[in-house]
Amino acid sequence: MESSVPPAPALHQTYAEALPELSVPWRADVPPDPQLVWLDEELARELGLDPAWLRSEDGIALLTGQVEGTTAQAYAGHQFGTANPLLGDGRAVLLGDLVDPCGRRVDLHLKGSGRTPFARGGDGKAPLGPMLREAVIGRWLHACGVPTTRALAVLTTGERIAPRQGVTDEPGALLVRVAASHLRVGTFEYAAWHLGPEATERLVEHAIARHHPTADGPLGLLDAVAGAQAELVAQWMLLGFVHGVMNTDNMAISGEGIDYGPCAVLDAHRRDAVFSSIDRSGRYAYGNQPGIALWNLSRFAETLVPLIDPEDPNAAVERATAVLETFETRFLDAYARGLAAKLGIDGEREEVLGLGTELFALLEQQRIDHTGFFRALDEGRAEPLFAEQDPFVRWAARREEMRAAPAAPAGATPANPLYVPRNVHLDAALRAAHLGDLGPAGEMLEAVGAPFVRRPERAHLEGPGDGGEDFLTFCGT
């Protein structure tokens, strides 16, 4: 008789085998009492994993890192503009990679798994709130059609850990993350700074094979990553998403968003919006994100210069610079396409951008809610949002002249979500989880997983709530 028990997933160690000098074998701590808090069953099935098996003893062993071959990855990075030569997975391990039923190779990665050689004095643990925050943000971005890492599961460990903020201890937790890979700009910086051109060249070859197979050499990889990042950041800007800590070690070569720590979503539209408690200078403010993406890509380009033209560094810099100079156009192209969809208009790029510039000036002047405005525009009730009616009426007349966009293709992701991870509501859910009530976090995960469809029982999650403008987010590290 054939067994009805599904087999364990076949995990590979593709990265460690290709580039052994960029990681170290490392095993996750054994949690004293692991409990599954949330499992994304849809994602599990996409990966070819049985949700029932993941809840079994063997499944929990996988989700807590009690498997062979796990590694901690090495990388460097520029943090708030300052080079740090050694960062790495300080509280995380790469469980391995698997090939899903559609043939896509993805990483399984575990956060909060204990100290590693890269822990830099930390305890390697993670509190429940920030792990749930990353799960919520990744689920929302994915539902909005934005390339992103995603949480497969969140578990509590049965530990109480030292507080990351405040004075009371916190429930320890684990996040199991799915990513196209964990190759970062910081990975290339580590290879270039510590290992030299031969290792960097193998890293380039690995990145091309994994993510950008049509790229031709290091210059082609730079071009592909620049294009992917232009598309990604344009979508962040259109949704009003503020990553909060766009260090080079938090920019993925795949073009996915990664590492959602002190992130937030705009309530009132403000270019200078900063929510991260650690971004005291406003370096990673909402309106700065496209420029920071280009800055990070420039650091990426620097690691590739010795490979682009080993004989003539000046020529290599010129060729890399020519690629970087395409970023602004590519970003604006992506931004204009997305903005036209959000506004329901058609027109040349400069016309769309001009209309958007006028709109965002009005939203900022009158402190109009970013998400709420676009939904109200879809539903024909935007005008009452404005205290000063005449400027909006004139703007709306100009928009009406451009309303010739074709209908969205069947199956396309809608442009304007109703439910977003509002600062106040998400914080309340995370505080409730800290105190043992997981209901609000589950409700938030459910709402942002289907963000375009209004449900009467979720009406309290639609608006910004009180106090969101003065809200601070924390890394949880």
Q: Percentage of residues in the chain with pLDDT exceeding 90?
A: 90
**Can you give the pTM of this predicted structure?**
0.96
Would you tell me how many other CB atoms lie within 10 Å of the CB of residue 166? Answer: 9
What pLDDT shows up at residue 476? 61
Over 80: is that where the pLDDT of 170 sits? yes
Band the pLDDT of 3: cuts 50, 70, 90.
low
Closest to 259 measured CA to CA, from 120, 403, 87, 100: 87
| Of 29, 249, 267, 279, catalytic | 249
Tell me which amino acid residue 305 is: V
CB-facing half-sphere around the CA of 6: CA atoms within 13 A? 16
The radius of gyration computed from the CA coordinates of the chain, to the nearest angstrom, equals 23
Over 50: is that where the pLDDT of 37 sits? yes
Phi, psi of 101 (to 5 degrees): -60, -20
Residues comprising the binding site for ATP?
88, 90-91, 111, 123-124, 177, 184, 259
- The conformation of residue 453, written as its DSSP 8-state character, comes to S
What average pLDDT does the segment 327-354 reach?
97
Domain residue spans in the chain? 14-182, 345-401
Residues comprising the binding site for Mg(2+)?
250, 259
Contact 173, 154 (CB under 8 A): yes
Cα angle value 475/476/477 (rounded, 5°): 90
Each residue's pLDDT tens digit, 239-266: 999 999 999 999 999 999 999 999 999 9
Over 60: is that where the pLDDT of 320 sits? yes
Each residue's pLDDT tens digit, 384-393: 999 999 999 9
What pLDDT shows up at residue 13? 97
Band the pLDDT of 1: cuts 50, 70, 90.
very low
What average pLDDT does the segment 441-459 reach?
97
211 CB-contact burial (10 Å; exposed 0-12 / middle 13-18 / buried 19+): buried
Instruction: Look over the chain and give the mean of its residue pLDDT values, rounded to a whole number.
Output: 94
The yes-or-no answer on residue 89 being catalytic is: no
Band the pLDDT of 404: cuts 50, 70, 90.
low
Tokens of 334: 């992506």
Residues comprising the binding site?
88, 90-91, 111, 123-124, 177, 184, 250, 259
Each residue's pLDDT tens digit, 88-125: 999 999 999 999 999 999 999 999 999 999 998 889 99
Each residue's pLDDT tens digit, 46-61: 999 999 999 999 999 9
Tell me which amino acid residue 398 is: R
What pLDDT shows up at residue 409? 63
DSSP, residue by residue, 65-129: T-STT-EEE---EEETTEEES----SSEEEEEEEE-TTS-EEEEEEES----TT-TT-----BHH
Q: Which of 160-169, 291-300, 330-339, 447-456 has the lowest mean pLDDT?
A: 160-169
What pLDDT shows up at residue 4? 59
Please name the residues in contact with 113: beta carbons below 8 A apart, sequence gap of 6 or more: 28, 29, 64, 65, 91, 92, 93, 124, 174
Over 60: is that where the pLDDT of 17 sits? yes
What pLDDT shows up at residue 197? 97
